[in-house]
Structure formats: C-alpha cells, structure tokens
Amino acid sequence: MNVSSLTIAFTLAWRNLWRNYRRTLIMLLAIGLGVWAMVFMTAMMRGMVDGMLKDGIRALPGHVQIHHPNYLDDPSVANSIAEPQGTLLDALNHPQVDAWAMRVKVPAVISSERETRGVMLLGVDAAAELNLSFDISHITQGQFLPSLTEEELAVDVQAQKAAKGIVIGVKLAQKLETRLGKRIVVMTQDIDNTIVDRGFRIVGLYQSDIPGFEEMYVYSDRRLIQSMVGLKGQVSEIAINGDGYRDNQALLSHIANASPADMKVESWRQVDAYLSAMLEMMDGFVLVWIVVIFLALSFGLMNTLIMAVFERVREIGLMQALGMRSSGVMRMILIESLLLLLLGLAAGNICSLLSIAAIQDGIDVTAVAEGMAMFGAKAVLYPVLQYSDMLLANVVVIVLGLLTSLYPAWRAAHYDPIVALNKH
Amino acid sequence: MIKVTCRKLRKTFVQGETQIKGLDDVSLSIEKGEFVCLSGPSGSGKTTLLNALGGLHTPDEGTIEIDGDVISQMGASELADLRLRRIGFVFQSYNLIPVLSAQENVEFVMQIQGVDSQERDQRAKAILKEVGLEGMETRLPAELSGGQQQRVAVARALVSEPALILADEPTANLDSATAENLMQLLENLNRKHQVTLVLATHDTRIMGFARRQIRMQDGKIISDEISSGSQHALRGGDPLTASHQEQDF
Amino acid sequence: MNIELRLAWRNLWRHKKRTWITVAAMVFSNVLLVLMLSLQLGSYQMMIDNALGLFSGQIQIQHQDYLENPKFRDDIVHPQGLVNTLKQATDLETISSRGVTFALVSSASRSYGVQVVGVEPQSEPLVSTIPGLIIEGRYLQASSSKQNEDPVAEVVLGKVLARNLKVGLGDELTLLGSGRDGSFAAGVATVVGIFNSSLPALDRTMIQLPLDYFQHLFASENRASYVVLNTPTPLELTQLNATIAELLAQQRPDESLQVRDWDALQPGIRQAIQADLSSAAFMYGVLILLVAFSVMNTQLMSVLERTREFGTMMALGLKPWRLVKLIFLETTMMATLGMLLGAILGAMLTQYYHVVGFYYPGMEEMAAKFNLPERFYPDVTWFATFIGPIFVMIASIIAAIYPALKIRKLDPISAMRAV
C-alpha cells in the first residue's frame, strides 16, 4: 500500500458515493437518524438516572456514610456511633472531603392538634447540613434552623428558644393541618426505650422536589434531639460528600481507614441497591440500545453496498484487469463505506448535540409525575450527555459498520475480472 | 530476444452441458516490438488467448512466459502486479472508470504503482497530447466520444511503459473512420515506443495494420503470417494530427 | 394468482439477496418489537395485579376529601350497612371496610410510628393478598359475636417491622395515638401473625388489627375510613363506577362519598406505564423508521435499475399508475413476508421466555421496587404479536411512495435510453 494508491482509493470511493446520490442520501438519513437516536435516547436515560441518583443520594445521607453496623437494619437510637474525633475528625476535614455532617436520625411520631403522622426526625447542625444536603432555597416560609455555637446556646435565652424550632415539609404541614409558628408534638423513644415527647415550634416549611421526601423528614437541632433521646456525644450517622457520586472508591477507603472498628463505612451503592442497580443497568442498556439500533441500520448498509458493488461489477473488473489487487478493491469499497458512515455519524452527532442543547432546560413530564416517582425519577427530565456514550456510539457504528461492509467488499474483490468485464 | 512465449496452451470452458475448447494446443512466441493481430470468428479463441497472455485466465495446461517469467504459475496478486507493471489493456468497451476524468483515468495505473503526483501529471499530460487529446484532460468519460474514450484507454495502456499491450476488439464500437484513426495511432505508437502490441479482432478493415497476422479457429492457430510491409496508408497523413475531428455519435 | 401478482412476486426475487436482506431488516425489528411489547404488557398487568391486589384494592369508597388528605375524621358512618347495600347492588362478595390511622407502636425495646389498619378479618382476604402472605402465626380472626364482650386485641405486622421492633408471636405491642375525637388512645395487643409482602414500604410501616378493636381503641365506633371493593375485571370499571356512584347518591346523599378506582388511588401505576410506554414508543418509532429507510432504499434501487424496462412498458402503452401499483404490490408482498416471519419468530421467542423466564442483570432490584417476581414469564398475545409487525408493514408501504413517485415522472423516451 502506498500513499498515491490510497489517494486514488479515496477519490474513487468519494465519487462513487455520489453517483447514486439518492441512495446515498437515504442511507445517510438512516445512519443520521440511528446515531441521533443512539445519542439522544442515551442522554435522556442518563439524565433520568442521574436525577434519580442525585436525589437518591440527597435523600440518603451522602456519597459515603458512616453508621453503627446495625443501624441500617434497625434504625434505632440504640444503634448509635460516637461523634467523630481524632483521626476520623482529621480525615473528615481533609480536602478530599467536600462536605460532611453528622445527624441524629430516629423514627418518630409527629402530632398536631388534629392529626398524627410517622416521620423521620433529623437532629442536625444547621451550618453543616446546609453545606451538605439542604438547599436553603427550598424553604418556602420561615427559615431553616439557626446555626448556634455552644456558647450562644448556653447564655442566650433567645438562642435557646430559637433552637427549639423544627422545620417540616409543606405537604406534611398540610396533612397535619398545621402551619408556620404553630406548635407540634414529637414523640419518640429514648436510649432507655422510654417514650419521650417534646413540643416544638414550626420555624420553617420546606419543599422538596424529591417525591415523598417532605412528608418524611423533619429537621431540628442536633443537640436538642441528643438531649431529648438521651444520646450524649453520639449520633446516628455521619454523611460525607466527595467530588462526585460515580467514583467514590478513593473517598470510601480514605474514610474507612480513619474510622474506628465499631463503625461501618459504606458508599451509597451499598446502601441503595436499587439505585446502584439502575446505574449499572444503564451502562448495559446504553450498549444494548446502540447495538440494536446499529443492527437495524446494518441491513440497509449491507444492501446499499451490495447494490453499489453490483452496479459496478464491470468497472471493478476493469480495475482488476488494470492491475489493482483484490485487496485494493476491498479497500476501495471499505473506504466508501467508511465515508458513508463518517458522514452519517457527523449528521447524527450534530443533530443530537443540537437537540440536546435545545432541551437543556428539561422536558416537563409532570403529566406522568407520579409514575416517574414510582421509578424514583423527577417530573422534569434533563438530558445528560456523557461524551463516553457518544464515543461508544461512534466507535460501534464505525467498527460494526466496517465489519458489515466486509462481505460486500470481499464479494467485489473476488469477482473474476473476465466475467465481470463481460457483464452487461 | 524473445518477449512472450506460449507453449501448448489448453483451456476448456464448460457451458451448460457442452465443453468449449477455448485454447487447444496453442504455442506461440512474440518478439519484442512486434505488432500482432489475432483474428478469427467469434469463439475461435482469440480473446481467450489474449486474456491468458494478460494473466486474466489461467490455462488448464501449458505455460506462458513473459520476459522469462512463467506467469501461468503466478498467484492472484503477482498477476495483478504483472498487469500493473508490464501489461497494458485496451478493451472493446467500458474501458474507462466513469467517475474519473480523462487524465485521472490515465494516471490510475501510475497511482496504484505509487508514482509521485508530479511525475504522474507530466506523463499523463504528455501521453494524452500524444494521442491527440490535449485540452480534454478534465473531461469525464461520459463527455468524450467513443473514439476519444478509446484513445484515453490507449494512453492509459501506454503510460506505464508496459512491455506488452493487449487490445481486445478496440474498434468494435467505432465507425470506420474513427477505427482507422485509432489503428494508425496504435501503429505509430508501436513503431515509436517499440512496444509489443497484440490485437484481437474480427474486423477485416483493421487487420492490415499489423505486420504479423495470426488466424485462429476452434481454439487452434490455423495460420501465422508476417506481411512484408505495413498497409496502413489507407488514407494517408499522420494520425496524430489528423484524427481530432472525428464524430462517431 | 393473477398476472400482476405473479409479476410482482417474480420481480421481488430478481435480486434474491437484496430482498432477503430487506426482509431480514423487517424481521429483526419485528422480533424485537414482539418480544419487548410482550414483556412490557406482561409487566404492566403484573404491576397492576400485584400493586392493587396486595392492599389498595381496585375500587375504594371514601369521603370525597379522603383521597387528597386522608384525615381520620373524613370517614364513613355505618360501613356495614354500606357494604351490605353494595353487595346487593353489585352482586360482588369481595367487599370489605377498613379504618386507618397513625400511631406509635412500642415493643419492650423499640417504638415506631406506623400506619394502623383496622380490617374485617372475614372479608379482608377477599380484597387483599396480605392475609395469604402470613409467614409466621396466623391472620386475624373474627371476634366473637357477643355484644358486650370486648373485642379481641390482636395484631399482625410486616416482617421488617417485627424485626425492627424485635417482637415475635405472642409478644405484646403498645399502641399510642389519638382517637377520632382527639382523645388520647392507648391499647395493648398481642402479635398473632407476621406477613411478608416483599414490599418494603408495607413490611416496614403497617400493622393490621380487627376493625372492631380499632374502632374501640380509636373511639370510632361504627365508622370506617373507606370501603374496598375488588372485581374480577379491573380494566373495565366504568360501568361499575357508575352503578356505585348512583347508589351512593341515592342512599347516602349527605355524606359526600366518592368512588375511587385504582387509577385515582394509585395514579402512579398508570403514569409509570405511560412514562414507560412513551420512552418505548420512541425506541420503537426509531426502529420502524430505520426499517422504512431500508425499504425505501431497496425499492428506489429496484425502480432505478428498471428504468429502461419501465420505459419500454410505458412505450408499449402501459399507464404509469399500473407500474406504481406494481411497486406497491412488490413492497406489500415483501412487507407481508417480513410481518409474518417477524410475528412468528417473535411469538416463538416470547413463548421461549414464557417457558424459561426472562431475566436481565439488575432486574431483581427493579422487581423488588415494584413488587414483581424476579423472573418474567411473558405471555404470547395476539395484540403484542401483531401490533408491532403491522406498524412495520404500514411504514414499509408508506416508504415505497417516494420510489413509486419516481415512476410517475418517467418519460418513456429517455427512460428507454437509460442504461
């Protein structure tokens, strides 16, 4: 093979491609549509799973979480861990950790004057929680819990009052038929299995875009809850975020190495099997989808090339008679196929980028919001284009496309030149 | 020095139930620079012989030597190389690659050979001028007349300076005047370049251009004569300058 | 066979390979469509059956505000009377009433806030599968009919809740909550059974006790939160809804009662189905379009390579529309072949999975979330087998319009000259 024979192969391939421009355009349309569907659909599915994961991780404690070994099975105050100290505290304040917070998290029953509901009571440090998971813009009325130092809490009467506040979801408030500023009673079990109850004033109402979240979680000050349930220096969980949810192996081992033996350090993947399975299934789905679409395309591609070869039998015979080797003929057909694939890919990629850009603000699927909620997804779908998926689609189309073209190319290369030349 | 030698060639085709003898014990040698005409009715074996010489057919029996190399034993890619470097072809019709211009068609073989683009351009232009197609380099085959197309084919066959040019009924689709012009061109080129030319035809108008006449029938050579002088001066004049205005639509 | 059909059929096989490849494109898409659709429809049916059959039932009769905001006070008076009326009017026995509230339940070592459901032990098994999912002990039993006796204080609860509360059969649970009148409600009940619904939300948060005990405990005598009704035909509820609505309007005009079918009770199911169907529709649409492009290309080739032949036929006096008809006949034949082969192979593949079960990695977690079995056994149905292939066939025939239009533009003279 030399440069000039490659040049002539390209020239021939390119010009041959446009000899029957209608056929080529139809094929380009098909490849373009296929590639668009591959990339666009994948981006939508990725977007859905991404949204689920982000919400899921927000609803869960964090990318990495520390619990008492029995806590996830039995989320009771009895299964608590010590507040972080020493090496663990150092590890948490390490730059590898984006944010962390500790919480007391206990099941409780909340009652207004009229209604009663079961909830999860979170005792949090306002500042840390805002940093980690709570979006302050979700507060629709009142405010989030105040951030108070120990000193303020010790001396300031106003602060003591403020600390007795509770923040609940808007929907929960509706169900309880209560509102901002009203008192509610929270009943739970302390460390000695005694039922304890305490009155709180509602200082803030929040809304969540995570389905079911705002009916489930109520926030109050960690120290208040610790004293209420009798947990001194103990919390239910420590939640840690790194720089991304996908790959958290490094963060996991960083924290695990610093934790005392009686604490269990897990990533969200271990905690939520459904989400983790969804994420893994997505990778499989993306590949299957891309290959299925390619296969649907491949029949057309094969036919187009077979026809292209069939129409040019005499000319191919001529080239062989003139001294072009079979490998040269094959190369020529493969290049023709490659050019077709590349053009189709370019069209498909451009269309998918444009259409993804066009719906960057999300597609509203509120009509099926509760259905999406059943899958754990939101009412607004955002496309998330992963370039690796796009690359995969392109590689699959080129590699499998060339494999598909091997047969027509091989056929072309193995015509008997005499028979080919005499064909009419 | 002997350029092409065939010994006891046999080739049988099976068509349906009947066997057709394409070549039946053909032996032949052709000297360098000879202008040979193979003639005979269709089915006489002349095209088969031509194709065998070009390495397109492998004979069932016998050997073909070109310049000492036994081509009947070569593999497909060796044969392709042989055709590429030492043999030029001119066919009856469908001689050119439709998507390439006249010059590109001429350059085609050189491109496969890997000749660099400057040299290609020079040689292609020169040879096109020689066959009288100056100024038509960029035309596509469809934009050329039949005679012009055959001239491009001749130019392409010549350009890589092959030892042997094989032409199979090159004038079959041309009118008399054009055919004659083409033959004069071939003859001149044969003289000028000392290229060996083997032509298969049953067109009696043009047989006379060759100095050696081989007649075939039923796959056998039935006569082999060398005429003393060329009879080409049917119309007179130099074909290289006289043949530009042909009209054969 | 008439001459046109025969001509079309023979033309089809002039390029055997090309025709087969085009048919193969149809078959490939059709098989996928049949299998995917069978799996989808099967899973929807299962989602409906499992999700509704487990607890919520297909129809509930509730106070009109209860659905939006299930308050204890928005309940039904004399539920037994309503149940009896309903039984008469609908000829169904599968009717039961329930009381629902929230309470704190405590064992010796643990307390949780849970949903407390008062059920009628005799008729509850007719509207819910939970009574059949008892893995330890037994389900609730009907109280003795003696008027003056206190109702039996027994309770069944979910597997996860039992584990969390650390209770077993025979242990006592304390219930703390508010009565209907806002009074303090407290009681002690014995665990007689533990159920495993496989749905974590239910297994973790629900306890059931006899309705009469519930009424006694929460000061809601002679009241129920809603009445559940099941029918053998959950997909055809319109008539039944109307009957019940009419009945309610006649018998209980002042109580603002409302019929809620499963679509209203669990809009998530229908929406999940819709969401799933619409993304599937996108995928199917792309597949079908790709087949259509294949057909368009094949038929275009077939028209272009016969330009000369068509020119001759037209010169002989054949009207262009006959040639157009020929192209459509050819396409229809090819498409029918693709449809039949695709439907048959698709149905065979579905039948294969019907026998061995369909599984893909990650399905267990999905199945657990939607309370579905871990393997899928899709049924072969006429609908799922033919709807996709018929769409492919229609799309293929539509795709032949462009090549067919080429014929109408043919001019016999230049066509005959074409190579």
pLDDT value of position C418: 63
Residues A325 and A265 in one domain: no
Put simply, the chain B residues between 196 and 235 with a CB less than 8 A from any chain A CB are none
User: What ipTM goes with this model?
Assistant: 0.80
Among A161-165, A234-238, B10-14, C212-216, name the one with the lowest average pLDDT: A161-165
Residue written as token pair 């421009």: A21
Given this model, what pLDDT does residue C149 score?
67
Residue B176 pLDDT class (50, 70, 90 cuts): confident
Chain C hits for A367, CB-CB cut-off 8 Å, are 271, 274
Q: Is the dihedral of CA C372, C377, C380, C384 positive or negative?
A: positive
Mean pLDDT of A305-323: 88
Average pLDDT over residues B180-191: 86
The token duo for A163 is: 């600390």
Q: Are A121 and A107 within 8 A, CB to CB?
A: yes
B195-213 burial, b at 16+ Cβ within 10 Å, e below that, comes to bbbbbbbebeebbebbbbb
DSSP bridge partners of C227: C61, C97
Domain containing A172 equals: 63-270
pLDDT digits (tens, 9 = 90+) for C347-368: 999 999 999 888 877 777 777 6
Pair A127, A48 in one domain: no
Out of A12, A315, A323, the one facing B84 most closely (by C-beta) is: A323
Distance separating alpha carbons of residues C167 and C126, to the nearest angstrom? 28
Res. C333: pLDDT tops 70: yes
- Classify strands A234-235 and A81-82 as parallel, antiparallel or unpaired: antiparallel
CA of A296 vs chain C CAs: smallest distance (Å): 6
Query: Domain count of chain B?
Result: 1
Please check whether residue B46 touches A, CB under 8 A.
no
- Asked whether at least 3 C-beta pairs link C and B within 8 Å, the reply is no
Residue A424 has pLDDT above 60, yes or no: no
Q: Using 50, 70 and 90 to split pLDDT, how confident is the model at B1?
A: very low
DSSP letter assigned to residue A210: S
Range of the domain at B147: 33-47+75-234
User: E-assigned strands of chain B?
Assistant: 2-15, 18-31, 35-39, 61-66, 69-70, 87-90, 164-168, 196-201, 212-217, 220-226
Question: Is B57 an 8 Å CB contact of chain A?
Answer: yes
Residues A299 and A253 in one domain: no
Which of A270, A294, A320 delimits the end of a domain? A270
Q: Which chains touch B (3 or more CB pairs under 8 A)?
A: A
Kindly report the average pLDDT of chain A as a whole number: 86
pLDDT tens digits along C293-319: 999 999 999 998 888 888 888 888 788
| Burial per residue of B3-31, b for 16 or more beta-carbon CB atoms within 10 angstroms, e otherwise | bbbbbebebeeeeeeeeebbbbebebebe
The rounded radius of gyration (Å) of the Cα atoms in chain A is: 32
Q: Which residues of A touch B112 (CB under 8 A)?
A: 4-5, 8, 322-324, 328
Q: Report the half-sphere exposure of A416 (CA within 13 A, side-chain side).
A: 9
Task: Work out the average pLDDT over B132-148.
Answer: 90
Residues of A (170-229) whose Cβ lies below 8 Å from C: 174-175, 177, 187-189, 193, 195
Per-residue model confidence as pLDDT tens digits over A385-414 = 989 999 999 999 999 999 999 999 998 888
pLDDT at A199 over 70: yes
Give every CB contact of residue C107 below 8 A, 6+ residues apart in sequence.
C165, C166, C167, C171, C172, C173, C174
Contacts of C20 (CB under 8 A, 6+ apart): none
**pLDDT given for residue C266 in this prediction:** 81
Identify the H or E element spanning A381.
strand A380-381
**What's the one-letter identity of residue C300?**
L
Average pLDDT, integer, range C257-273: 84
CB contact residues (below 8 A), chain A span 336-365, against chain C: 365
Please tell me whether residues A203 and A347 are part of one structural domain. no
- Residue C55 DSSP label: I
d(CA C249, CA C240): 14
CATH for B146: 3.40.50.300
| Inter-chain CB proximity B81 and A319 less than 8 Å | no
CB B42 within 8 A of CB B48: no
Closest CA to B28 of B49, B44, B1: B49
Most confident of A55-64, A271-280, A315-324: A315-324
Kindly state whether residues A162 and A289 are assigned to the same domain.
Answer: no
Q: Return the pLDDT at B235.
A: 38
Q: How far apart are CA C67 and CA B85, in angstroms?
A: 89
pLDDT at B93 over 80: no
Contact by Cβ (8 Å): C297, A300: yes
Hey, which chains touch C, using 3+ CB pairs under 8 Å?
A: A
User: How many domains would you assign to chain A?
Assistant: 2
Give the pLDDT confidence score for residue B236 in this predicted structure.
39
Beta bridge partners of C259: C61
pLDDT at B237 over 80: no
pLDDT at B242: 38
pLDDT at position C222 over 80: yes
Indicate the pLDDT class of residue C225, thresholds 50, 70 and 90: very high
Task: Report d(CA A224, CA A165) in Å as an integer.
Answer: 10
Q: How near does any CA of chain B get to the CA of A12, in Å?
A: 7
B80 and A320 in contact by Cβ < 8 A?
A: yes
Chain A residue numbers with beta carbons less than 8 Å from the beta carbon of C21 are 299, 302-303, 306
User: Is pLDDT of B106 > 80?
Assistant: yes
Q: Is A171 exposed, middle or buried (0-12, 13-18, 19+ CB in 10 A)?
A: middle
Q: Could you tell me which chain A residue has the CA closest to the CA of B57?
A: A418
Q: What confidence tier does B204 reach under pLDDT thresholds 50, 70, 90?
A: confident
Residue B194: count of CB within 10 angstroms of its CB = 11
Instruction: Judge if A133 and A194 occupy the same domain.
Output: yes
pLDDT of residue A159: 65
Residues A91 and A227 in one domain: yes
Q: For residues A58-77, b (16+ Cβ closer than 10 Å) or e, as one string?
A: bbbbbbbbbbbeebeebbbb
Do residue B117 and residue A4 have CB atoms under 8 angstroms apart?
Answer: yes
Q: Which two tokens stand for residue C316?
A: 């002989």
Task: Assess if residue B117 is contained within a domain.
Answer: yes
Domain boundary among A270, A302, A319: A270
- Within A157-233, strands assigned E span 165-169, 183-189, 195-206, 217-221
Q: Does B80 touch chain A (CB under 8 A)?
A: yes
A281-290 pLDDT, tens per residue?
Answer: 888 888 899 9
Closest alpha carbon to A245 in A282, A217, A276? A276
- The full length of chain B comes to 249
Tokens (6 digits) for A171: 């929907």
Is the model's pLDDT at C146 over the cut of 70? no
Q: Which of A254, A270, A286 lies at the terminal end of a domain, its last residue?
A: A270
pLDDT bracket for residue C371 (50, 70, 90): low
Among B82, B97, B113, most A C-beta atoms within 10 A, so best to mutate, is: B97
Predicted confidence (pLDDT) per residue in C4-34, tens digit: 888 888 888 888 989 999 999 999 999 999 9
| pLDDT, mean of residues B87-103 | 86
Band of pLDDT at residue B227, cut at 50, 70 and 90: confident
Report DSSP state, residue B219. Answer: T
pLDDT (mean) for A117-130: 89
B103 has a chain A CB within 8 A of its CB: no
A173 and A218 both lie in a single domain: yes
Closest CA to B151 of B113, B106, B200: B106
Given this model, what pLDDT does residue B232 score? 45
Give how far B224 is from chain A: nearest CA, Å.
Answer: 26
Report the residue from A116, A174, A371 with minimal CB separation from C178. Answer: A116
Across the range A154-163, mean pLDDT stands at 67
Look at B121 and C263; give whichever has higher pLDDT.
Answer: B121
For residue A60, is pLDDT > 80?
A: no
Q: Are residues A300 and A249 in the same domain?
A: no
Q: Which of A160-164, A170-174, B41-45 has the lowest mean pLDDT?
A: A160-164
What is the C-alpha separation between B89 and B95, in angstroms, rounded?
Answer: 9
pLDDT for the residue C236: 74
C267 membership: H or E segment, kind and range = helix C267-305
pLDDT in tens, A39-49: 999 998 888 88
Give C154's strand partners: C190
B2 in a domain, yes or no?
no
Structure tokens at C402: 């462009």
Q: How many helices (H) does chain A have, and how many strands (E)?
A: 17, 14
Q: In percent, how much of chain C has pLDDT > 70?
A: 95
One domain for residues A210 and A248: yes
- Tokens 């100024």, residue? B135
Chain A residue at shortest CA distance from C279: A41
Find out whether A121 and A106 touch, Cβ atoms under 8 Å. yes
Are C169 and C202 in contact by the 8 Å Cβ rule? The answer is no
| The two three-digit tokens of residue C390, written as one number | 């018929």
Mean pLDDT of A106-125: 88
| B204 domain residue, yes or no | yes
Interchain pair C71, A114: CB under 8 A: yes
Sheet bearing B61-66, strands edge to edge: B18-31, B2-15, B61-66, B69-70
Distance CA A35, CA A31 (A): 6
Tell me the pLDDT band of A38, cut-offs 50, 70 and 90: very high
Co-location of A315 and A195 in the same domain: no
The pLDDT, as a whole number, for residue C295 is 94
Q: Which of C17-21, C70-74, C129-133, C186-190 bottoms out in mean pLDDT, i.e. has the lowest?
A: C70-74
Which pLDDT score is estimated for C148?
62
pLDDT at C388 (0 to 100): 93
Best CA proximity match to C62, nearest among C52, C51, C72? C72
| Whole-angstrom distance, CA of residue A410 vs CA of residue A413 | 5
- Residues 6+ positions from A85 with CB-CB distance below 8 Å: none
Q: What pLDDT is attached to residue C1? A: 62
- Look-up: residue for tokens 């495993």? C196
Question: Rounded to two decimals, what is the model's pTM?
Answer: 0.80
**Nearest chain C alpha carbon to A109:** C113
Tell whether B26 is covered by a domain: no
Whether A292 has a pLDDT exceeding 50, the answer reads yes
Tell me if chain B has a CB within 8 Å of the CB of A271: no
Under 8 Å between Cβ of A301 and A404: yes
| 3 state SS of C253 | coil
Return mean pLDDT, chain C: 87
